[in-house]
Amino acid sequence: MGSLEKQEISILITGAGGFLGQELAAALLDAEPTAHLILADVVRPKASFLQHAKRITIIEADLTSSEAVTSLLQPKLSACYLLHGIMSGGAEANLDLGLKVNLDSFRLILDNLRKSQPAVKVIFPSSLAIYGPSQPGQVTNEKTIPMPQSSYGAEKLIVETLINDFSRRGLIDGRICRLPTVIVRPGAPSAAASSFASGIVRESLKGERNILPVGQDLEMWVASPRTVVKNLVAIKDVPQTKFGAPQGRAVNLPGQTVTVRQILEALEEIGGKEKRNLVEEIKDANIEAIVGSWPARFDTSLARKLGMSEDVTLKDEVEFFAKTLVS
């Protein structure tokens, strides 16, 4: 793969083989024509970047290994996107694995960065799962007290705290983005408790039967992959002075409140009744408890102040996703 020597900007993406990692890599290659990307994942990121072979370095590494982390962080970096992780359902099912990947590997990486790459920009995708259940009609913002109701949410919050503290000390320049649930996710279902929110659109549009494990009245805070990736790219260039006290380094990224019923309506509008009828409702109390504990209404005025983009409509996103299936 490519050489780092002549490049001025090097950006690391961990979890680069995952859903958002791959989309972010493609977006950064477009947005930063002189940047070199280091794409790291425990599984090899897909070959879709091969046309950019000179501008990328692919590294297969398990980031729970201290040797792997030290070697990965050797080149001088302009920014790091730390996207690797075990998703909410996976971290709930396997506490040890969640702690090892979602917490211990971040401690390793952040310690290494503060020593070897002082003041490097660190962008961390946190989640609405750091919050606890909200009262009906409550609007959540960055000042709402976090009270995670899942191990995944707790692990994200601990990493946020470390990033805030290292940034306060001037050791790194952390930017924490609390992401909505990102729909529509392409490919296979993920280990996220909210995986059904993409599945009811994706599998149905592909003509496959699928299961809805929650009630249709459940409200969710969602955003399209395009919006989330655009904002992850943009947050890197927000002046450092806009972060920090009093609001801290975390921002709730723009999204929209939708009920599951509205997702089904968007599916029917784009795919027709036949596709909508492929969704079978079979409740799963565990999934409903996790997703039901996440707030669904957010005040995103801080995101707007930082220049983050608003989301596209749900119908637009479902239509966009449907087109990717036929192209």
Ligand X SMILES: NC(=O)c1ccc[n+]([C@@H]2O[C@H](COP(=O)([O-])OP(=O)(O)OC[C@H]3O[C@@H](n4cnc5c(N)ncnc54)[C@H](O)[C@@H]3O)[C@@H](O)[C@H]2O)c1
Question: What is the x/- site pattern for ligand X, positions 124-163, by CB under 6 A?
Answer: -x-x------------------------------------
Instruction: By CB under 6 A, name the one of 11, 12, 13, 21 that touches ligand X.
Output: 21
- Which of residues 7 and 210 has its CB atom nearest to ligand X in the complex? 210
Q: Is residue 174 near ligand X by the rule CB under 6 A?
A: no
Q: Which is nearer to ligand X, 222 or 274 (CB)?
A: 222
Single out the residue of 134, 149, 190, 204 in contact with ligand X (rule: CB under 6 A): 190
| Count of CB atoms situated within 10 Å of the CB of 55 | 19
Contact 203, 197 (CB under 8 A): no
Q: Is 182 in the site for ligand X (CB under 6 A)?
A: yes
For residue 152, indicate whether it is catalytic: yes
Contact pick of 179, 235, 270, 296 for ligand X (by CB under 6 A): 179
Using alpha carbons, list the distances in angstroms from residue 259 to 213, 216, 244, 307.
14, 7, 34, 27
DSSP strands (E only) in 42-131: 56-60, 79-82, 121-127
Closest to ligand X by CB, 21 vs 174, is 21
Which residues lie closer than 8 Å to 102 by C-beta, 6 or more apart? 85, 86, 91, 152, 155, 156, 159
Residue 83 sits in the site that holds ligand X (CB under 6 A): yes
Q: Is 224 in the site for ligand X (CB under 6 A)?
A: no
Q: How far is the CB of 180 from ligand X (least distance, A)?
A: 7
Q: Binding ligand X by CB under 6 A: which of 11, 12, 13, 20?
A: 20
CB 1 within 8 Å of CB 71: no
Q: Is 49 in the site for ligand X (CB under 6 A)?
A: no
Q: Is 104 in the site for ligand X (CB under 6 A)?
A: no
89 binds ligand X (CB under 6 A): no
Please pick, from the candidates 29, 36, 38, 41, the single residue that binds ligand X as defined by CB under 6 A: 41
- 153 dihedral zone (left: phi>0; alpha: psi -120 to 50; beta): alpha
Per CB under 6 A, 196 contacts ligand X: no
CB of 239 closer than 8 Å to CB of 307: no
User: What is the spatial order of strands in the sheet that 256-259 belongs to?
Assistant: 181-182, 219-223, 256-259
Of all residues in the chain, what percent are helix, strand and coil, respectively (each to 5)? 45, 20, 35
**Closest residue by beta carbon to ligand X:** 18
Long-range contacts of the stretch 5-10 (C-beta < 8 A, 24+): 7/34, 7/35, 7/36, 7/55, 8/34, 9/34, 9/35, 9/36, 9/78, 9/79, 10/35, 10/36, 10/37, 10/38, 10/75, 10/76, 10/77, 10/78
# residues contacting ligand X (CB under 6 A):
24
Catalytic residue among 49, 152, 166, 298: 152
Instruction: Select the residue interacting with ligand X from 181, 227, 231, 252 (CB under 6 A).
Output: 181
For ligand X, which is the closer residue by CB, 84 or 236?
84
Near ligand X by CB under 6 A, which window of 56-64, 108-116, 139-147, 314-322? 56-64
| Residues engaged in binding ligand X (CB under 6 A) | 15, 17-21, 41-43, 62-64, 83-85, 87, 101, 105, 125, 127, 179, 181-182, 190
Looking at the annotation, which residues are catalytic?
152
